[in-house]
Amino acid sequence: MVQGERYLVAETCEYRRHFLNFHPERILVTSIEPDHLDYFKDLGDILDAFESYGRSLPYRGAVVFCKDDGGAAEAARRMALRRDDLGMVPYGRTAAGRFRIVDIAPGAGRTRFRLEGYPTPFELRVPGEHMVLNATGALALCEELWREERGDQPVDAAGAARALAGFTGCRRRSEIVGEARGVLVMDDYAHHPTAVAKTLEGIRAFHPGRRLVVSFMSHTYSRTRALLAEFGRCFGAADEVIIHRIYASARETDASVTGEDLAREVAKHHPLVSYTADPLDAAPRLVRTLRTGDLFITMGAGDNWRLGRAVLAGLGGEA
């Protein structure tokens, strides 16, 4: 099949219920948490939006959802109550069926895992247990498509394992920018406290022994204000944290919280926190202080990714 000839895979956004403009045949729900609170009233309002999304599926459509995530599981429960024709496909450690994760073994440079319904073990070369969940969800969705195409023909488990083992990541998701003088420079788009925490924990397990230095730029005043306490506690896996000014959105005017406020909140839970408003202003110090074996990562939806490139260049490397 020519790439893109039959299927379109899209990452849709719930903000302002934009995803209701899409009309998919199947949806994959990875997680649902309080977010975009400049628009949604609360988690219940967000769940209502996802329930509407599920109701928009065609007859006998499918919902693949992470059973381990409370929000995703609740949204799936609501969808099933309204639509008994939908195929509900759970995955995760607590899921019943083929896509129950029965073992995860993180290690240096790889993560191995097994699923209830597959004799073949799987391996990922991207860090984090959250990526194991994502891979399992993708596999569950692919199996739905396989059965539509090939009926009861056995799934090519070995082929699936090869595909997952060959995946080396994508831009702004634990992306390796480069390495110089023994310092590994990475970049990641995580900008919600849960995503930040899980990504850093995964990187810590994936790169044991490295000192982990994080540059973080929070995205939007509303998210920072609403989740300030959660942001304060999400950097536990890091050895050093550098906070920058908030990356504002054109849709916001209320700047009642600042990057300095966030730095003070993080400092309540972390012993080594500093604040540099402009990310690039932190480059000279980092070039001086980063040492062989360190891992420096820029995180967030802002433009502090430029800092990683500047640090790499200062160390004599190329992106």
- Domains in the chain (CATH in brackets) are 15-165 (3.40.1190.10), 175-314 (3.90.190.20)
125-159 pLDDT, tens digit each = 999 999 999 999 999 999 999 998 898 898 999 99
Across all residues in the chain, what is the average pLDDT?
Answer: 95
Q: Is the pLDDT of residue 2 over 70?
A: no
75-124 pLDDT, tens digit each = 999 999 999 999 999 999 999 999 999 999 988 889 999 999 999 999 99
Instruction: List the beta strands (DSSP E) in the chain.
Output: 26-29, 62-66, 87-91, 101-107, 110-115, 122-124, 175-180, 183-188, 212-217, 240-243, 273-275, 295-300
pTM of the model: 0.89
- Residue 297's pLDDT is what? 98
Q: Which string of DSSP letters, residue by residue, matches 147-214?
A: HHHHTTSPP-HHHHHHHHHT---BTTBSEEEEEETTEEEEEE---SHHHHHHHHHHHHHHSTT--EEE
Residues paired with 66 in a beta bridge: 91
- Residue 265's pLDDT is what? 98
Token couple for 96: 């019943």
Q: Is the pLDDT of residue 1 over 90?
A: no
- 300-314 mean pLDDT: 97
